[in-house]
Amino acid sequence: MLENTGFTGYMIDLKNEKEIAQMRVAGKLASEVLEMIGEYVNVGITTHELDTICHNYITREQNAIPAPLNYHGFPKSICTSVNHQVCHGIPSKNKTLKSGDIINIDVTVIKNGFHGDTSKMFLVGKPSILAERLCKITRECMMMAIESVKPGLHVGTIGAIIQRHAENNNFSVVREYCGHGIGRNFHESPQILHYGVEGTGIKLEEGMTFTIEPMINAGKPATKILNDGWTVVTQDRSLSAQWEHTLLVTKNGSEVLTKRTEENEY
């Protein structure tokens, strides 16, 4: 998640065919980390252990680089955000997963200089009805936004679609962080806000690559950062969920560069 600075869409790097091929490789690798880690996300594991498994897989099996590690000083290779943690959770030996937890694992890999960025929610043991519904609606927000993407679409429409579905379900959209252009840089233009007004903002063009990564809260939208300087939590300690994909804008729509094999319905 990029910090929402209010600036949108100047100097957007459109990817050529060669760069797109590289983005496909990076996106696929990021998706494969999420596929790999699923079987380990169980009651009793620590988020530190999840980080170690992902780090070793990315560096040894994929010969790739975990982008979060040392990014602006981030100390670990993945982000793990549990329950009321919104994003940028730091994997820790003190965070042991328990039944009922929901956890977002956010993976970004660099391969041959290009980034792939994706995250998903995992339900640990037996989650509450609310937790399950929050995760499901948040994924729907992302998917509805993805399905709208095509050249000529205003970025504000992406935000409006997400905001409408979240608020129709009595949830709220986090404002302080947003999706982002991605490529040779982890975070580049444009900013993709997850709330907004239809028909406003810049228009999408073929060859743009960016993420959609809505953070949706069960309570109020406000967040704060913990003393560790990274972990973003809901101010009211309500549950928060997030899903993320990296997309390419194509001639007629979009291609999901981080699609997992389990996601064959689109």
β-pair partners for 241: 216
Answer yes or no: are the C-beta atoms of 174 and 216 closer than 8 Å: yes
Q: Rounded to the nearest whole angstrom, what is the least distance from the CB of residue 211 to ligand MF3 in the complex? A: 6
Nearer to ligand MF3, 22 or 104 (CB): 104
Answer yes or no: are the C-beta atoms of 242 and 81 closer than 8 Å: yes
β-pair partners for 204: none
Phi, psi of 33 (to 5 degrees): -65, -45
**Per rule CB under 5 A, is residue 163 in the interface with Co ion?**
no
Q: Rounded to the nearest whole angstrom, what is the least distance from the CB of residue 43 to ligand MF3 in the complex? A: 25
Contact with Co ion (CB under 5 A) among 211, 231, 238, 242: 211
Residue 101 interacts with which of ligand MF3, Co ion, none, CB < 5 to 8 Å by class: none
Residue linked to tokens 């409408």 = 164
**Per rule CB under 5 A, is residue 188 in the interface with Co ion?**
no
Distance CA 121, CA 259 (A): 14
Q: Rounded to the nearest whole angstrom, what is the least distance from the CB of residue 106 to Co ion in the complex? A: 4
Handedness of CA 130, 133, 139, 141 (dihedral sign): negative
Residue linked to tokens 């956890």 = 103
User: How far, in Å, are 67, 101, 113, 142, 177 from residue 256 at the CA level?
Assistant: 20, 28, 19, 12, 21
**Per rule CB under 5 A, is residue 106 in the interface with Co ion?**
yes
| Residue positions counted in the chain | 266
**Per rule CB under 5 A, is residue 77 in the interface with Co ion?**
no
Nearer to ligand MF3, 3 or 199 (CB): 3
Q: Rounded to the nearest whole angstrom, what is the least distance from the CB of residue 108 to ligand MF3 in the complex? A: 5
Contact with ligand MF3 (CB under 6 A) among 19, 32, 101, 106: 106
**Per rule CB under 6 A, is residue 88 in the interface with ligand MF3?**
yes
Contact with ligand MF3 (CB under 6 A) among 22, 80, 108, 240: 108
Distance CA 137, CA 250 (A): 26
User: How far, in Å, are 12, 120, 127, 146 from residue 17 at the CA level?
Assistant: 16, 28, 43, 21
Q: Rounded to the nearest whole angstrom, what is the least distance from the CB of residue 128 to ligand MF3 in the complex? A: 26
Contact with ligand MF3 (CB under 6 A) among 146, 155, 213, 232: 213
Nearer to Co ion, 215 or 239 (CB): 215
Question: If DSSP codes are grouped into helix, strand and coil, which group holds residue 39?
Answer: helix
Binding site for ligand MF3 (CB under 6 A): 1-2, 68, 71-72, 74, 79, 88, 106, 108, 117, 213, 244
Binding site for Co ion (CB under 5 A): 106, 117, 211, 244
